[in-house]
Amino acid sequence: MDIKVSEYLYTITNASGASVTLSRIGAAIVSVVVPDKDGQLGDVALGYDDPQSYIGDAPCIGKCPGRYANRIALGRFSIGDKQYSVPVNNGPNHLHGGPEGFQNKVWDARVDGDAVEFMYFSPDGEMGYPGNLKVVARYEWSEQNELRLTFTARTDAPTVINLTNHAYFNLDGEGSGDIRDHFLRLNASEYLPTDEGLIPLGDSEPVAGTPMDFLMPKKLGRDLEADFPAIRYGKGYDACWVVDGASEGQLQDVAELWSEKSGRRLEVVSTQPGVQVYTGNWLSGCAPGKHGHIYEDYAGVAIECQHFPDSPNHPDYPSTLLLPGDTYEQAIIFAFSVKK
């Protein structure tokens, strides 16, 4: 495995020439170059050429948001009998750790064998969160074109944490158009209905008989404009599904994305109990992408393995509480292959 390092970027290339490029800005996935059905290498991850475009970008392209990915209702939560307030930056709600979340920080980085590790230290009170928190995001790239991301974190005071990666994929190549014809399968028979601000209402509901049903592969565009609350509220898919069979600490099949045009397939497995699927509904107007490409709405899809939105305010959801002495650890694997 060959690793090339520049000021911000780390590129890992395997023996076949397939590669992944990572950035210290937001511990981001900048590119994933993998073969199509004809053996032609292409970059399937959306991103920017200008490093400055990664700072404060609304789509959070490729980066690792935190301290809490996704939304917290009204920017308020409690730990025990103490209430905390965090910045509201998405309508009335808090999103992705706030405007100065982990995605907008320059992380420390090091090469560890064939892996690249990014570390960020979040001081007590940053963006309103309690506890000094040390986070490590470790990326490994295999000869089989599997990208493994492992998060670990420790705190010195009770806090809440929810980490994921916000890469957008287009298996026909970034800048090649939209993902309406991509087939998606989700290992999820239930999803979380939300209010108009995309805050979960409470219990999950079956996907059966709704546009949220991806138990069998279905084109993303088929129901993208359906008159259904979960789609209408987000102008496309921006919802959390409950992963079937999820068990703490155990890798579980989450999703499969496939393009008939390129033949590329992405399989996602994770230890996380939920997956937020976001079809890039508001990409238009973001900074120019790589090679000058202009990303319009639906130019890529994010498959974000994570805990549920607003979990700190839902005691019946899988806990996102991290206590001193405990270690937060979650893994996500993006496995790329060809399906002819």
- pLDDT at position 42 is 98
- Of the candidates 256, 304, 307, 314, the residue annotated as catalytic is 304
- pLDDT at position 86 is 98
- pLDDT at position 159 is 98
- pLDDT at position 339 is 86
Cis preceding linkage at 67, omega within 30: yes
Active site residue 96: no
Phi-psi label, residue 93: left if phi above 0, alpha if psi -120 to 50, beta otherwise: beta
User: Is the confidence at residue 340, as pLDDT, over 80?
Assistant: no
- pLDDT at position 80 is 94
User: Quick one: average pLDDT of 12-39?
Assistant: 98
Phi-psi label, residue 288: left if phi above 0, alpha if psi -120 to 50, beta otherwise: beta
- pLDDT interval class at 25 (50, 70, 90): very high
- pLDDT interval class at 133 (50, 70, 90): very high
Percent of the chain with pLDDT over 70: 100
The CATH fold assigned to 2-338 is Beta-galactosidase; Chain A, domain 5 (2.70.98)
Tokens of 278: 């976001």
Max Cα–Cα distance, the chain, nearest Å: 59
> Do 138 and 112 touch, CB atoms closer than 8 A?
yes
Residues 265-295 have pLDDT tens digits of: 999 999 999 999 999 999 999 999 999 999 9
- pLDDT at position 312 is 98
CA distance 2 to 291: 24
- pLDDT at position 203 is 97
- Of the candidates 94, 96, 166, 182, the residue annotated as catalytic is 166
User: Is the confidence at residue 307, as pLDDT, over 90?
Assistant: yes
Instruction: Classify residue 76 by its DSSP letter.
Output: E
- pLDDT at position 7 is 84
Residues 184-226 have pLDDT tens digits of: 999 999 999 999 999 999 999 999 999 999 999 999 999 999 9
Domain-by-domain residue ranges, the chain? 2-338
> Do 73 and 199 touch, CB atoms closer than 8 A?
yes
User: Quick one: average pLDDT of 233-245?
Assistant: 97
- pLDDT at position 186 is 98
Active site residue 166: yes
User: Quick one: average pLDDT of 166-183?
Assistant: 97
Strand-pair partners of 333: 148, 269
In this prediction the pTM is 0.97
User: Quick one: average pLDDT of 315-320?
Assistant: 97
- H/E/C letters for each residue in 109-131? EEEECCEEEEEEEECCCHHHCCC
